[in-house]
Structure 1
């Protein structure tokens, strides 16, 4: 329904259905009993003969009561049909019914999941059902450029995150997020998956430089797209309106024009699915001082969603579940904007609550190392190397470990050979094992769980199953390079010291 939010539509449908059922029930009873309605002359006769204590005959063959009952029944049937038509087919969430929550005696809740493949198939079916109920959302899923316009607080970032998550779950499109205020959205749990550039928590590189480095890599496109046009990558560009603001890093100001040009001309050619978040679609509210002609071209090329808000009791704009949508390739005029409702299942807070456990189970989440290794040159590189020589030395690390672990009993000669010697020679032919060990050494992960490996290293190496990760770790265990910490094969740790590793792993 175009003029109602999803919640309003559901309550209207329920009200009409209830009214229709009441009319049908009352009309059916009236049609069956056929109550008689007397004429004025008959009532006067009853009064006259009653006062004389004489009998009077009243005919009982009138059909008016039955006719009115049938009329009410038909009206109820029509009202119920209208309520059924208004009812939406949107699923109440994407969590499969096969996922069971069990209450534990200590008050906590345990979630039981079926096999990953079954969970993913059920989730994909629910997403397809959701898209069939909202054609405008389906159009956004396939668009090379989506522009989401709205004031702060109406849910722009939440909608962008939902589109990115659904693309990932349906088609395995990777996600990159360019967000100058990444730490704020990280604290609020806005982003569910992908590489977040713009967070001081995830990288020590300055925010503006993070985003500049990321865009330099992303603008070249997604390599698998050249072989398979259905494979793309999602790039969310948050707060694009303020990138030209004097308070923002200089790197962001320099990227405004290139990103806009890329959306208009190159995104389709290189497999980038870009989502731009703006505060307005007029000059000054979209990318700073963007020329009017460029802005009009962007708005024509893109699928545009104008998100409406509603004021709360304090006058702040919040989620309303309503908006206007324009399909890509059409002129951004009032004629082409159609009123739409936005599903409640992707409203702020609802989506995160619904899918957080599900994404954790599937090994999907935010990357903990978005930039991998940043190349540093010049005086900064010399300073970095000096710091590494001083603080990454084996002596310094051993001293820190001794402080952390506290005093220990002296080891006996029998304990010196607790672990067998690593089989380095056999490792040479195991490329996946070498890559995994190199990742662990580079990030100084001596102990790590399988879920984290799958979410980060595994995703980059195209290992999408826990069993794949476990099989590689099992091979390394057989080479005396590590061991399982728990019985469930969920946590694994490295046995040899980093300095004992071959130089090939550096």
Structure 2
């Protein structure tokens, strides 16, 4: 259309053979000559050319495969009872389709997902943690890969990480971040039966204390693992560093040959940060990409733009509900300690003592004792279900929300750690809050602990069928 319009604009009667002949004759006789004009064709040409511009723009937009969001919208289908439902498989399939579109439009991201080593380099605030979190999450959504995150500053990044076990947060374990990471590296460095992601945040700082420091003593093995063992161990390691010089990869005490080898083998991502008027770093979405197997030189880095749906906070906003449904999130108790603050423990014990001294509760317990439950209602073998005073729960919005969640998920047995990871963190609840809620339900006879206080993991079980839980 654009070409045709341009041709019509340029075409003019004076260029035709008859017009040229008349002009030539007038020139020979030195007579005045007025060339004929055909304005209709010229106007039509301008119109066609003008229409060609928006049509071309629309074509360019249709050719762009970049998805604008990963938020899934699966189509409900009828179940055995004719009700329209959406299953976890439906949600997973829809997410995988959208991720496939994202990877089709972003070669750099596709290379990162499959590579055994990725180095993400950039200044503070450039988005290193955000991109690493996205890579780890997409791997789990596509292929179910386990994720371990070793982050000395994990307490500052807990809102950024989206899945996996996070080591290095003092709020989640009793050990210091360095010793958490050292223990985790010893555990996850071993050969695995399935692919797993290992994210090493702030790796530039690991070797600052030299080989005598806790983390510095690990870096030579971490570097060697990335270049020699990761592929055969089914490991996919992501290194987050602030600079490109060799000392930034594990410290100056690490063999420089290993550092050069890793930088060549790995997929390289350079992120560009910017700063506002107050000197605070901000995400720009600008980056450069180096394929695996290429030397770490400027000539091998090509610029690209990070999609808006991967900017800080975007994935959590788009996928928060879906991740909760699929029970994907960060493990709030990576070391399996189930920490409970002493003051909070004292307060809970006082509350439980007061609750058990309540005459109404004592009477309820006596009623239960006089009419014991034979078997278990979940197995269909119980002669009756215990009497539960749900009035106690109605005064606690968090307890009401938990009962609704157990009923919706049809959960008979509860692992407190997984409950906090998959439901509690979205409610703003910590491990100790989950423990207190389950103790409350235990106190009113709705459930009981299957394991003693020292057992790990602790398991809690409903004493009534989830289908019989009330709508509070």
Q: TM-score range by the shorter chain?
A: 0.5 to 0.7
The CA distance in 2 between the partners of 1:272 and 1:64, in whole Å, is 71
Counterpart residue number, 1:109: none
Provide the secondary structure at the position in 2 that maps to 1:300.
helix
Report deviation, 1:239. Answer: 0.5
Counterpart residue number, 1:317: 281
Counterpart residue number, 1:381: none
Structure 2 residue 206 is matched with structure 1 residue 243: yes
Counterpart residue number, 1:273: 236
The CA distance in 2 between the partners of 1:502 and 1:417, in whole Å, is 30
8 Å contact kept, 1:363–1:454: no
Counterpart residue number, 1:191: 161
Report deviation, 1:69. Answer: 3.9
Change in Cα spacing, 1:88 to 1:400, as seen in structure 2 (3 Å) is same
Change in Cα spacing, 1:359 to 1:78, as seen in structure 2 (3 Å) is same
Structure 2 residue 134 is matched with structure 1 residue 162: yes
| Aligned pair partner of 1:347 in 284, 289, 311 | 311
Report deviation, 1:333. Answer: 1.6
Change in Cα spacing, 1:133 to 1:501, as seen in structure 2 (3 Å) is closer
Change in Cα spacing, 1:496 to 1:149, as seen in structure 2 (3 Å) is closer
Mapping for residues 126-205 of structure 1, pairs under 5 Å: 126-186=98-158, 189-205=159-175
8 Å contact kept, 1:94–1:123: yes
Counterpart residue number, 2:65: 89
The CA distance in 1 between the partners of 2:415 and 2:58, in whole Å, is 46
Provide the secondary structure at the position in 2 that maps to 1:146.
strand
Cα shift readout 1:196-254 (whole Å, capped 9, x = no counterpart): 00112221222111111111111113223xxxxxxx10111100011123499932111
The CA distance in 2 between the partners of 1:332 and 1:117, in whole Å, is 41
Mapping for residues 385-396 of structure 1, pairs under 5 Å: none
The CA distance in 2 between the partners of 1:502 and 1:153, in whole Å, is 42
Counterpart residue number, 2:17: none
Change in Cα spacing, 1:406 to 1:313, as seen in structure 2 (3 Å) is farther
Change in Cα spacing, 1:122 to 1:207, as seen in structure 2 (3 Å) is same
The CA distance in 1 between the partners of 2:114 and 2:449, in whole Å, is 48
8 Å contact kept, 1:208–1:249: no
Change in Cα spacing, 1:80 to 1:193, as seen in structure 2 (3 Å) is same
The CA distance in 1 between the partners of 2:43 and 2:133, in whole Å, is 54
8 Å contact kept, 2:210–2:251: no
8 Å contact kept, 1:422–1:496: no
The CA distance in 1 between the partners of 2:90 and 2:356, in whole Å, is 43
The CA distance in 1 between the partners of 2:123 and 2:455, in whole Å, is 55
| Aligned pair partner of 1:209 in 162, 179, 186 | 179
TM-score normalised by the chain length of structure 2: 0.67
| Aligned pair partner of 1:402 in 344, 353, 360 | 353
Change in Cα spacing, 1:500 to 1:202, as seen in structure 2 (3 Å) is closer
Report deviation, 1:312. Answer: 2.3
The CA distance in 1 between the partners of 2:75 and 2:35, in whole Å, is 62
| Aligned pair partner of 1:494 in 430, 447, 457 | 447
Counterpart residue number, 2:426: none
Cα shift readout 1:457-492 (whole Å, capped 9, x = no counterpart): 59x9xxx9xxxxxxxxxxxxxxxxx9xx8xxxxxx9
Change in Cα spacing, 1:501 to 1:408, as seen in structure 2 (3 Å) is farther
Cα shift readout 1:254-300 (whole Å, capped 9, x = no counterpart): 11111111101100010011111000111333322144322211110
The CA distance in 1 between the partners of 2:151 and 2:123, in whole Å, is 17
* Number of residue pairs the alignment of both structures matches: 376
Give the unaligned 5+ runs of structure 2. 14-33, 77-83, 339-344, 380-401, 423-437, 460-472
Structure 2 residue 250 is matched with structure 1 residue 287: yes
Report deviation, 1:335. Answer: 2.1
Change in Cα spacing, 1:288 to 1:502, as seen in structure 2 (3 Å) is closer
Report deviation, 1:144. Answer: 0.4
